[in-house]
Chain A
Amino acid sequence: RKEVEQDPGPFNVPEGATVAFNCTYSNSASQSFFWYRQDCRKEPKLLMSVYSSGNEDGRFTAQLNRASQYISLLIRDSKLSDSATYLCVVNRYGNKLVFGAGTILRVKS
């Protein structure tokens, strides 16, 4: 079993839709949690950190449930430019990041 599991998708949604991605992690010692975005053939870029209290950045909301070892990302009012692969990432202790395989989002007009 992989340390970070994600539904690979693809999620095909129309512009303006709300879409949610989920992720589970297996190592309870994980300390930091992130969503990275990766465009085709580009490097990953940090989208947002994830906190137990939940955090929001514009149209994006991330949530962490430590008890269930579950991380979520909600995108509201999807734009064409949101089309990308979304990587769920955990960090055990300050050094290496452990990535999920990614969830592909395609937003269509």
Chain B
Amino acid sequence: DTGVSQNPRHKITKRGQNVTFRCDPISEHNRLYWYRQTLGQGPEFLTYFQNEAQLEKSRLLSDRFSAERPKGSFSTLEIQRTEQGDSAMYLCASSVGQRGGLSNEQFFGPGTRLTVL
């Protein structure tokens, strides 16, 4: 499968625990994005990387959230001290960046569904 993959697909955790999600983008894509989606809403942008550089972070990304893309390939999103309000679907997407900053289509992974009890 050459699409975007995410692991785990589901995560149930207790409030206060730390969780880490992984995203493997399409191999030739240099841009990687994280979004969060709650029930009845569209996905909301969290952060994006061009290669290994994190170029933009949303105000939604509190200090408890950290994302990395150390070698410009896969990325991890860690949430520390989880809260019930963190329960959501975390979606990863990747794209090929063009000159001038424009991007091609973003391809989404299947998401990681987080439930914080």
- Residue ranges of A at the interface with B (Cβ–Cβ < 8 Å): 4, 8, 31-32, 42-46, 87, 89, 91, 93-102
B105 interface residue (CB < 8 Å to A): yes
Number of CB contacts from chain A to chain B under 8 A: 57
Q: B41 and A101: CB pair below 8 A?
A: yes
Q: B41 and A94: CB pair below 8 A?
A: no
Q: A96 and B48: CB pair below 8 A?
A: yes
Closest Cβ–Cβ distance, residue B47 to chain A (whole Å): 9
Closest Cβ–Cβ distance, residue A37 to chain B (whole Å): 11
User: Quick one: which of A43, A87, A97, A100 contacts B109, CB cutoff 8 A?
Assistant: A43
Q: B42 and A99: CB pair below 8 A?
A: yes
User: Quick one: which of B31, B44, B91, B111 contacts A95, CB cutoff 8 A?
Assistant: B31
Q: Please measure, in the bound complex, the distance between the C-alpha atom of A44 and the C-alpha atom of B105, giving whole angstroms.
A: 12
- Residue ranges of B at the interface with A (Cβ–Cβ < 8 Å): 31, 33, 35, 40-45, 48, 55-56, 58, 91, 93, 97-98, 100-103, 105-106, 108-111
Which residues of chain B come closer than 8 Å to A100, judged between CB atoms? 42
Q: A94 and B43: CB pair below 8 A?
A: no
Closest Cβ–Cβ distance, residue A93 to chain B (whole Å): 6
Residue of A nearest to B56 (CB): A95
Contact A87-B103, Cβ < 8 Å, known A43-B111, A95-B55, A96-B48:
no
Q: Please measure, in the bound complex, the distance between the C-alpha atom of A101 and the C-alpha atom of B55, giving whole angstroms.
A: 25
